Structure 1
Amino acid sequence: MGHYPELSLRDARMKSMLTRADILDPKTDVYKPPEIIGMPDLPEKNEAIPLFRDVAKVWFDRKVLGLSNGKHIQQNWNTLKTYVFPQLGALPIDQIKQRHLIAVFDPIWRIKHTTAKRTLGRVEEVFELAKLLEHIEINPASFKRQIAFGRVTIQTRHQPSLDRSRAPDLWQWILKHDVAEDVRQMLMVMLLTGKRTKEVRMVQWIDLELDQLIWTSQREHMKMRRAHRIPICKQLDVIFDNMSLLTGTSDAVFARPKNKLGVIDENCARLEFQKFYPNITEHGMRATFRTWLRKQNCYSQDLMETALSHEKDPMVNAYMRDDLLDERRPTMQNWADYVTGGAMPPRLQDQL
């Protein structure tokens, strides 16, 4: 890159980065003009105005690149297909006016408010793409919803959760429940950790530092797209030892090679938990854990929120650089001892 001290280490790093990106000629230090990346899958300005559904398809193909949850991917497209395409899909996008959108969404705005609100937001993004491509000048979906449809009063309903006092009963039920052994072990992991279903289903053996008793969930499996570490308590260590007998030759801890993603199905844990307590979800299980933490009156807000990998205030994130792993270690062990009565899960090795 050059010689020190004429070229500082910082400038050398920058020069190396620009060279790799093919922006800088390292021999002449001349910047190369950036390539203009076209959008060949969209019609040019002088061609026929595209239909709404055609622009929506391009919007969806780009949006899906940033989504990882299969359910959310389907919702993004299916809501347009169900509620918008029948009336507007075949219209040139520059002919769609605000009155058309209001007529489409008014019948469902109150009876399916959340779905209607999210779908209209997606429609607004489609029109914004068309605006950037100069097919339209004004986004017809940018209007005040309350004026168009009137005020809607929403009553927040939380997901059903299990009372913290019943967590030990659930543990005993899991131990005796008639279910596949890998699913039993997964249910125990979810109860002991308060982690989301995807984080547990998708865990790989390389995510586990069993000698250090640390589990790191990779960012692509996290809701907030941020890696999350948790300490492995004694009971959890036994469970992973059990799983090594069941799936130790696979990359995934809860491997199911015949399934689409190669792991246990997404709804498997929820359906089993609901056999113990109707309508409960993994979010409700996390609420049980969070309630227990708060009732101990000895854990800080930062520790409780970090334990559940909740998004913090941006200002807090700017200064909070520690994930409190060491402080959380006794916390997670205390919760596990409360749930299990201090006992260890049965070792599969002993049953061979």
Structure 2
Amino acid sequence: MPRRAKELSALAVSRLKNQGFFSVGGVAGLYLQVSSTNAKSWIFRTVVGGKRKEIGLGGYPDVGLSDARDKARKIKDEISQGIDPVAEKQLKKNKLRAELAKAITFKEAANQYIAIQSHGWKNAKHASQWENTIETYANPVIGNVQIKDVDEAHILKILNPIWISKNETASRLRGRLEKVLGWAIASKYRSGDNPARWKDNLEFKLAPSSKVKTIEHHPALHYDDIGSFMAKLRLLEGFGAKALEFTILTAARSGEVRGATWSEFNLDKKLWIIPAERMKAGKEHYIPLSKRAVDILKAMPVMSDNPYVFSGTKGMLSDMTLTAVLKRMGRKDITVHGFRSTFRDWAGEKTNFPREVCEHALAHRLKDKAEAAYQRGSLFDKRIGLMNEWAKYCDIVHIKADNVININEMVAV
């Protein structure tokens, strides 16, 4: 019968100073190792799967005698149940490493998603909008939360305060949260359902956008006032004033005008072709040019080091240049984008051009697929007439309901 080691007391263990292994008793195979530096640690010698192993149980005195014996007994129980404690410990370490590798915060996930997707977005402004809404509304709530732990309660805490008062922003933000979380699921940073999804989820907990959305119209000039406005605008000098007039005459978006390059124009055919990558709808857009629009282009200088038609000091005009022209005119009550509404109201109320012609002139997407099929051909010919009529109307100053004056006549006088 093997000799049992004497069961040492805690005091006796504390007095062990010489270098070596000391059996402390209480559990067969439990030793205190004393190193040359007098550092002490617990070692449990046992047999696992027919192989002798030494299992460390921690340093002394951080792990006391009683705790060391309890650990040794637990290991013996595990071995008797067919568990390899060494392999089990390594498995837990590997699992922890894997968990730490997936430990990414929502803010980090959002930044990674934006960095990946921004290469496919049309302009830097889109990325900026993503960053701003997430930084303003989401990060204060879940920025430092692990992406795997973000749940529906978090999403509602973000959206509820702005869902009614800023519904358009909140609705876009929800979609962005859904995409970031969707990316995290696809990238194995989290599992389960997407807590920001709308269908069969948030649609039951938030009012439909169509019920709460307040449509914010851009302040626009009434079409009866366009003639007098244009007369004053034409008195101003500078590329900004010319760009604004050209924007009004073509019913284009300001960004489309500011980004226009000479290669997009065929002045002989009175045609402006905006490439798909510069259009909001992502489709190439043809704009027929009136005589006045062509005259503006012909008066613009062509610069060898700058491809833009309406150029600023650093290339393209800034997005505030056209707004600054309105401020110079004392018209803080209207916006540049509002002139598209002015054009649409005039076309709908003062002309007989079909609705689809007017919508195409604004490069609006048509919900009716049959209408949408008519992008060129006779529809384009009708748009030539529409834009020429608009240019003529912009030359008319309405003094009273029954009294109009042509701008050209005013100049002649």
TM-score normalised to the size of structure 2?
0.65
The residue aligned with 1:162 is 221
Mapped partners of 1:229, 1:150: distance in 2: 40
For residues 250-287 of structure 1, give each alpha carbon's deviation from its aligned partner in whole angstroms, at most 9, with x where no partner exists.
311012242xxx11111211232254533322331011
Mapped partners of 2:123, 2:342: distance in 1: 24
The residue aligned with 1:268 is 321
Q: Give the aligned length.
A: 296
SS at match of 2:311: coil
Which of 336, 342, 352 is equivalent to 2:391?
336
**Aligned CA distance change for structure 1 residues 92 and 166 (closer, same or farther; 3 Å):** same
The residue aligned with 1:76 is 130
Which letter does structure 1 place at the counterpart of 2:336?
E
The residue aligned with 2:349 is 295
The residue aligned with 2:82 is none
Mapped partners of 1:279, 1:63: distance in 2: 37
**Aligned CA distance change for structure 1 residues 300 and 181 (closer, same or farther; 3 Å):** same
**Aligned CA distance change for structure 1 residues 44 and 343 (closer, same or farther; 3 Å):** farther
For residues 174-223 of structure 1, give each alpha carbon's deviation from its aligned partner in whole angstroms, at most 9, with x where no partner exists.
0223xx42112112101211110011111111111111111111212211
2:376 aligned with 1:322: yes
Mapped partners of 1:250, 1:89: distance in 2: 42
Shift of residue 112, structure 1, vs aligned partner:
3.1
Comparing 306-315 and 247-256, the one that deviates more: 247-256
2:309 aligned with 1:253: yes
Asked if structure 1 preserves the Cα contact closer than 8 Å seen for 2:164 and 2:212, the reply is no
Asked if structure 2 preserves the Cα contact closer than 8 Å seen for 1:202 and 1:252, the reply is yes
2:285 aligned with 1:228: yes
Which structure would you say has the larger RCO, counting Cα contacts within 8 Å and 6 or more residues apart? 1
SS at match of 1:282: coil
SS at match of 2:125: helix
SS at match of 1:123: helix
Asked if structure 1 preserves the Cα contact closer than 8 Å seen for 2:133 and 2:173, the reply is yes
Mapped partners of 2:372, 2:169: distance in 1: 34
Mapped partners of 1:113, 1:291: distance in 2: 26
2:360 aligned with 1:309: no
TM-score normalised to the size of structure 1?
0.76
The residue aligned with 2:8 is none
For residues 57-100 of structure 1, give each alpha carbon's deviation from its aligned partner in whole angstroms, at most 9, with x where no partner exists.
12111232232344332120121112222231222211122122
Mapped partners of 2:157, 2:239: distance in 1: 50
2:144 aligned with 1:90: yes
For residues 280-301 of structure 1, give each alpha carbon's deviation from its aligned partner in whole angstroms, at most 9, with x where no partner exists.
2233101111111112342012
What percentage of aligned pairs have identical amino acids? Answer: 26
Shift of residue 50, structure 1, vs aligned partner:
2.1
Mapped partners of 2:98, 2:121: distance in 1: 28
| Structure 2 residues without counterparts, runs of 5 or longer | 1-96, 397-405, 409-413
Shift of residue 248, structure 1, vs aligned partner:
6.9
Asked if structure 2 preserves the Cα contact closer than 8 Å seen for 1:337 and 1:343, the reply is no
Mapped partners of 1:304, 1:326: distance in 2: 12
Which letter does structure 1 place at the counterpart of 2:388?
Q
Structure whose CA Rg is larger = 2
**Aligned CA distance change for structure 1 residues 86 and 297 (closer, same or farther; 3 Å):** closer
